[in-house]
């Protein structure tokens, strides 16, 4: 692999506004083998990691893209003078259901959430976080929904399998719950019982 191949690959990745796959890079460099392009990507990934730069070359949504490290997000946002796009709790809950259960019908999402999700689905479609994957062979041919590559980009995921496992999320919730219960228990033990003052028996106690 000649050195210039690595530099050309680097320039393409730097200039692209979306993750690039090795095949997409190969389309620009047809005279270079796919193996050499993949080797260049590995070398670049290692070099940026070794340099400890504020950004890294990461595999996102099946492609490769330079991503700023999260430690520097506050400074970047301050420079841009714009807050990140925020999703409401209802929208995030719906998106999580689709991500973990896809492909999934609207009716199935509504059964899990217990509310109508028509408006939320439109929002997620407009933001490009979900897509219509087709129709299910049921009466009325209902639409089937799933997540997009943009979803992987926004949440910094290599692929959909990179989502935290549900049992990991449950375990994390349990770990957070235990200290809270311990604090509540300590507070209860510290408080005097109702009707007592901590100095001998109540006034109306028998001698």
| Strand pairing report for 55-60 and 63-68 | antiparallel
Q: Which CATH architecture has domain 3-72?
A: Orthogonal Bundle (1.10)
Report domain extents, the chain: 3-72, 89-160
Distances (CA, A) of 21 to 32, 59, 63, 78, 163: 15, 9, 4, 31, 21
Model confidence at 85: pLDDT above 90: no
DSSP states of 4-73 as a string? Answer: HHHHHHHHHHHH-SS-B-HHHHHHH-TTS-HHHHHHHHHHHHHHHHHHT-SEEEEEETTEEEEEE-GGGH
What is the number of other CB atoms lying within 10 angstroms of the CB of residue 165?
10
Query: At CA 84, angle to CA 123 and CA 52, rounded to 5?
Result: 130
Convert the pLDDT of each residue in 148-200 to its tens digit: 998 998 888 888 888 887 666 555 445 445 555 555 555 445 444 444 444 44
Convert the pLDDT of each residue in 10-48 to its tens digit: 999 999 988 999 999 999 999 999 999 999 999 999 999
pLDDT at site 164:
84
Higher pLDDT among residues 182 and 57, named by residue: 57
Q: In this structure, is the dihedral angle defined by the CA atoms of residues 189, 194, 196 and 201, taken in order, positive or negative?
A: negative
Convert the pLDDT of each residue in 86-116 to its tens digit: 788 889 999 999 999 999 999 999 999 999 9
Same fold, 3-72 and 89-160: yes
Nearest Cα to Cα of residue 20 among 51, 5, 41, 4: 41
pLDDT at site 204:
45
Domain 89-160 grouped into CATH 1.10.10.10: yes
Q: Are 30 and 62 in contact (CB under 8 A)?
A: no
pLDDT at site 162:
86
At 204, give phi and psi (nearest 5°): -95, 15
């Amino acid at each position: 692999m000649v050195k210039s191949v690595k530099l050309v690959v680097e320039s393409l990745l730097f200039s692209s506004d979306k993750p690039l796959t090795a095949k997409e890079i190969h389309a620009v460099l047809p005279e270079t083998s796919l193996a050499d392009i993949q080797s260049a990507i590995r070398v670049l990934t290692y070099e940026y990691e070794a340099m400890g730069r504020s950004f890294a070359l990461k595999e996102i949504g099946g492609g490769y893209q330079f991503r700023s490290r999260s430690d520097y997000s506050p400074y970047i946002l301050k420079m841009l003078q714009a807050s990140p796009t925020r999703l409401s709790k209802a929208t995030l809950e719906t998106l999580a259901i689709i991500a973990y259960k896809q492909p999934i019908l609207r009716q199935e999402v509504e059964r899990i959430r217990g509310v109508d999700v028509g408006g939320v689905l439109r929002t997620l479609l407009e933001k490009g976080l979900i897509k219509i994957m087709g129709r299910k062979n049921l009466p009325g041919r209902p639409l089937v929904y799933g997540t997009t590559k943009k979803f992987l980009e926004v949440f910094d995921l290599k692929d959909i399998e990179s989502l935290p496992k549900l049992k990991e999320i449950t375990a994390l919730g349990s770990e957070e719950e235990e200290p809270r219960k311990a604090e509540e228990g300590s507070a209860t033990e510290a408080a005097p019982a109702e009707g007592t003052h901590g100095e001998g028996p109540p006034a109306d106690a028998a001698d």
